[in-house]
Amino acid sequence: MQLSDVRYQDVAQSQLQRALHSGRMPHAYLFAGPPGVGKEMLATRLAQVLLCPNAAVTRRVAVRDAALSNAPSAPAEAEAPVGLFGPLSDAGGEDDGGLFGAMDAPSSVDSGEAFVPVDVESATSNRAAPPPEKDCSIEACGQCVDCTLLTAGTHPDFHRIHRMLSKLHPNKEVRNRKATVLSIDVIRQFLLGPIGLRPSRGRAKVFVIVEAERLNQSAENAMLKTLEEPPDDSYLILLANSADSLLATTRSRCQKVVFGPLPTDFIVERLTAESKIARDTALFFAEMAQGSLGLAQRYVELGIGERVEALHETIRQAESEPLAASKRLQDIAKDLAGPLKKYQDEDEGDTNASRDAQLLVLAMIATLLRDTQRMAAGAKPILSEARMKQGKGPLPGTRHLRHVFRAINEAEYQISSNANTGLIFDSIGIALNRAGHLAV
């Protein structure tokens, strides 16, 4: 596992590499961005770098290209490898030390990477470290005991904090509560307690708090002192879909790292390679997911593509029977609620699955209507034009579509507020009716 495995998050990668090269890692990070874009993946790989005794500067080199070349490659200079905070050995070659102690050079490297000696800024310098080179990054070796333990999910100094840990709490009363929030009981037992202990492997302790937006106010307040003055060699990484969901006092004590949506072409490439689905269907999922690979993969598993035609017919039905179309939209949502339950834990219940299914139906409608907008502007739709032009009649003006999108936005808010489902979808059916003929 390498930090560079997380693709298309260059801002986050650069920010972390600057901190690693400077030797002054913040003890608390807040990774904020949409779900399914690599926040936890990057947090886990950063933890591996912090826990790996062999973490060193690596440079990506075209090993395979050099091997295929007829010209012999130039030999590397006979220099000692460089650790995270400086040279790993002195002139005499007696005192080897990586990030936290003795270091053994990896016995082999990946076919596309090589460990190459590179000068780095010493941690003792008061000057800001220069930005890392484009192809130069600090990575874990991937072969030591610590890397093996972390990959297996059994490293004693890596702690993944989530709300379902309440089911492992020693207090029976806490175990019997529904784990809908990340409570103070979980934080005290699984974070504040272990963080005060010495690392089991003697290097560092890393705590990754998943779904940090679910922290209740008491839990956040209990963490403030630790976030401000954590014990030595302790690192906390909070993962949240939105930084604004946390208290200002929590945000101010963390170094914020912003994650953005992934490119649509990348998501399409992954979906078509993994699921063998048609490109236009993969593109439809990518549009629905709004840059989230994780959500797009979930849509494939849910079989959303099989329900697109039913949604086409329902939108066309709204031209003449808006309330009947409303009822059919509700039925599609109920049909999706069942498969969505497998993504819910037992404490979330059926309500959240039903709510997520309703929001998913709205997202499907919005994605189809964006195709209508493309055709109205003379652009090529995502789905095949034959499928989009099954109806007859003129395309609606953008003014009419704007009213539908406004109704969808209002419906999303009403669903999150637990308003009456029938009334919510009635409003969508009426808005579609007023928009006139839609080329879907």
Give the model confidence (pLDDT) of 418-435 as tens digits. 889 999 999 999 988 887
- 245 pLDDT above the threshold of 80: yes
d(CA 116, CA 95): 19
In the structure, what pLDDT confidence band is assigned to residue 116 with cuts at 50, 70 and 90? very low
Average pLDDT value for residue range 98-126: 39
Q: What percent of the chain has pLDDT over 90?
A: 39
CB atoms within 10 A of CB 273: 9
Reported as type and span, the H/E element at residue 159 is strand 158-161
Residue 400 exposed, middle or buried by CB count within 10 Å (0-12, 13-18, 19+): middle
| pLDDT higher at 59 or 33 | 33
What is the band of 48 on the pLDDT scale with cuts at 50, 70, 90?
very high
Give 122's DSSP letter: -
pLDDT value of residue 348? 57
> Highest mean pLDDT: which of 44-58, 83-97, 126-140?
44-58
pLDDT for 349 equals: 56
Q: How confident is the model at residue 106 (pLDDT cuts 50, 70, 90)?
A: very low
Provide the percentage of residues in the chain whose pLDDT is more than 70. Answer: 75
| Long-range Cβ pairs for the range 128-134 (8 Å, 24+) | 128/22, 129/18, 129/21, 129/22, 129/23, 130/21, 131/14, 131/18, 132/14, 132/17, 132/18, 132/21, 133/59
Residues of the chain with CATH 3.40.50.300: 3-258
User: What's the pLDDT band for 43 if we cut at 50, 70, 90?
Assistant: very high
Question: What local confidence, expressed as pLDDT, does residue 38 receive?
Answer: 92
Return the pLDDT at 82. Answer: 42
Q: Is the pLDDT of residue 202 over 50?
A: yes
Total-model pTM: 0.75
Quote the longest CA-to-CA distance of the chain: 87
Instruction: Name the helix (H) or strand (E) containing 334.
Output: helix 322-340
Tell me what pLDDT residue 437 has.
Answer: 58
Element containing residue 30 per DSSP (H, E): strand 28-32
pLDDT at residue 209 tops 70: yes
E strand residue ranges, 221-367: 234-240, 255-258
pLDDT at 341 over 50: yes
Question: Which residues have a Cβ under 8 Å from the Cβ of 410 and sit 6 or more positions away?
Answer: 427
Q: Which pLDDT belongs to residue 340?
A: 83
DSSP codes joined into one string, 371-438: HHHHHHTTPPPSS-HHHHT-S-SPPPPHHHHHHHHHHHHHHHHHHHTT--HHHHHHHHHHHHHHT---
**329 has a pLDDT exceeding 50:** yes
- Render pLDDT for 384-400 as a digit per residue (tens, 0 to 9): 554 544 444 444 555 67
151: pLDDT strictly greater than 60: yes
Q: Quick check: 372 and 401 in contact, CB under 8 A?
A: yes
* pLDDT at residue 102 is higher than 60: no
How many C-beta neighbours within 10 Å does residue 366 have? Answer: 17
**240: closest CA among 26, 41, 30, 21?**
30
Which residue, 121, 161, 158, 126, is CA-closest to 140? Answer: 158
Amino acid 184: pLDDT:
94
Tell which residue, 258, 253, 196, has the closest CA to residue 26: 253
Residue 119: per-residue pLDDT: 37
Q: Is residue 55 predicted with pLDDT exceeding 50? A: yes
pLDDT digits (tens, 9 = 90+) for 119-136: 333 333 333 444 455 567
* Among the four given CATH numbers 3.40.50.300, 3.40.190.10, 3.50.50.60, 3.40.50.1110, the one describing domain 3-258: 3.40.50.300
**Contact between residue 109 and residue 115 where contact means Cβ atoms under 8 Å apart:** yes
Does residue 380 register a pLDDT over 80?
no
Comparing 238 with 75, the larger pLDDT belongs to 238
SS3 200: coil
Assess whether pLDDT exceeds 80 at residue 258: yes
3 state SS of 251: helix
Q: Which of 64-68, 152-156, 278-282, 376-380 has the lowest mean pLDDT?
A: 64-68
- Whose CA is closest to 382, among 285, 275, 269? 285
Candidate ranges 134-148, 236-250, 276-290; pick with highest mean pLDDT: 236-250
Amino acid of residue 41: M
Is the pLDDT at 262 greater than 60, yes or no? Answer: yes
**What residues contact 175, with CB distance under 8 A and at least 6 apart?**
166, 167, 168, 169
Confirm if 56 and 84 have CB atoms less than 8 A apart: yes
